[in-house]
Amino acid sequence: MNSNTGSADSRQLAMTGRFDSNAQLQHGHAAGASPQPDELARDISAAPAAHRGDSLEARLLRRLLGGLGNPPIEFQLLWTGERVAPIGTRPIGHVRVKDRRTLLGLLRDPQMRFGDAYSSGQIEVEGDLVKFMVTLFQIFARTDARDSITSRIGGWLRRPRRNTLAGSRDNIHRHYDLGNDFYALWLGETMAYTCAYYPTAQATLDQAQTAKMDHVCRKLRLGAADSVAEAGCGWGGLALHMASRYGAKVRAFNISKEQIDYARHRARQEGLQNRVEFIEDDYRNITGRYDVFASIGMLEHVSPENYPELGRVARRSLTADGRGLIHSIGRNRPEPLHPWIERRIFPGAYPPSLGEMMGIFEPWNLSVLDVENLRLHYALTLRHWLERYEAALDKVRAMSFDENFVRMWRLYLAGSIAAFETGVMQLFQVLFTTHENNRIPLTREFMYPK
């Protein structure tokens, strides 16, 4: 058994990243006499197995759930055969826990252990995983309003791993170099691995990804005479779109070798190699002056301490009437990324609050013209990804990804849908320009052509 008890994380249940020890303490006290999960874990491991129709662990789990406001989730403890059902409400989720060791792990470090135990199959969730995750997030959101200061402090204590030049390379490699073939199975034609833009909720994934690129280009008022620097270009979809549909000249930077190889191949295929240059290098090494600076879905991998540096690069890259757009996952307030997501899925990632994002622009007197929050679009995008991912599982397995990976990736996609649907995560598009640029349209009607 894991002897790592008493950590700050051990008082947290469920993978919300938002339910911190302080909030639960308050909630527990309000509800009566709920013990702390780490105390529970110590109790259980010290006590002999009790079987008076109801095991010790079942009773303790019930008490803990009571302290959490009786979430409508039923637990089934496979090693005792018991069910711990919510009191007074119909369960919306059913969780099967395989063994006592898994339950204890969950009580001790729920944020990490729920994801790992789900991935390894020691926890099964019956029914709709997305619905289950949405419900979890909603439950914990309710207990969440009061703890902003705690989470703010917590956010700074639990920083993700740093994105130095070398660190970034390592972090980006771990996620994006899983293989272009893997991502091609579920990202759709555009290979855009960022939030799409749904003109209507009925749009297909490919339509919405193309609409996103057009939405971005329109915001930037991209024209044929324009030069563009793109920081973090993924598989090159936007750069190629800007060149082929708008006639722009693009220099696109990315440190993922696999993505750059793929993007260069596509540029040659589409005959755009004279208009789009893909450069395997860090955004900090962008040189030259451009009419447009764009960065879609890279900021999540830039540590907040590097925001002023990113702003410096944007400022020095822009002509006097240059326009910039940064598109990033964000938060309503500073909070660390969920530790399981940061550890297993996105090493080094951090989604900033809008206030934190201003650390990019304010030091350089860059002028923010427009901010749009597209969080519901990311929920739709992720639903399309998950659907395609599930449909392609045979192919994923054939690529020699093991069952642990298959389940881990499903939980990541399902949990992300829930995070965007419940308002735990945001998606910000920030349009900006130099402080001296007066060549800006009076209204935003041009973004919505008739």
Kind of pairing between the strands at 318-330 and 426-433: antiparallel
Task: Provide the minimum distance between the beta carbon of 142 and its own copies in the complex, in angstroms, as a whole number.
Answer: 9
CA distance 239 to 295: 11
| Gap between the Cα atoms of 300 and 350, Å rounded | 5
The Cα–Cα gap between 255 and 279 comes to: 8
Nearer to its own copies, 104 or 296 (CB): 296
Q: Which is nearer to its own copies, 76 or 332 (CB)?
A: 332
Least distance in Å: CB of 91 to its own copies? Answer: 22
For residue 309, the 8-state DSSP code is: H
Closer CB to its own copies, residue 253 or residue 420?
420
Q: Considering beta carbons, is residue 132 or 140 the nearer one to its own copies?
A: 140
Smallest gap from residue 208 Cβ to its own copies (A): 10
Largest CA distance in the chain: 79
Nearest residue (CB) to its own copies, 13 versus 208: 208
Closest CB 346 distance from its own copies, rounded Å: 22
Residue closer to its own copies (CB basis): 92 or 178 = 92
Contacts with its own copies by CB under 8 A lie at: 138, 141, 144-145, 148-149, 197-201, 332-334, 353-355, 358-359, 361-373, 375-377, 421-423, 426, 435-438, 440, 442-445, 447-448, 450
Query: What are the C-alpha distances in Å from 207 to residues 189, 194, 275, 421?
Result: 10, 14, 24, 21
Amino acid at 415: G
Whether 386 and 103 have beta carbons less than 8 Å apart is answered as: no
Rounded to a whole number of angstroms, the minimum distance from the CB of residue 368 to its own copies is: 5
Sequence-distant (≥ 6) Cβ neighbours of residue 339 within 8 angstroms? 9, 17, 111, 112, 158
Residue type, 165: L
393's enclosing H/E stretch is helix 393-398
Do the beta carbons of residue 42 and residue 18 sit within 8 Å? no
> Nearest approach, Cβ of 200 to its own copies (angstroms)?
7
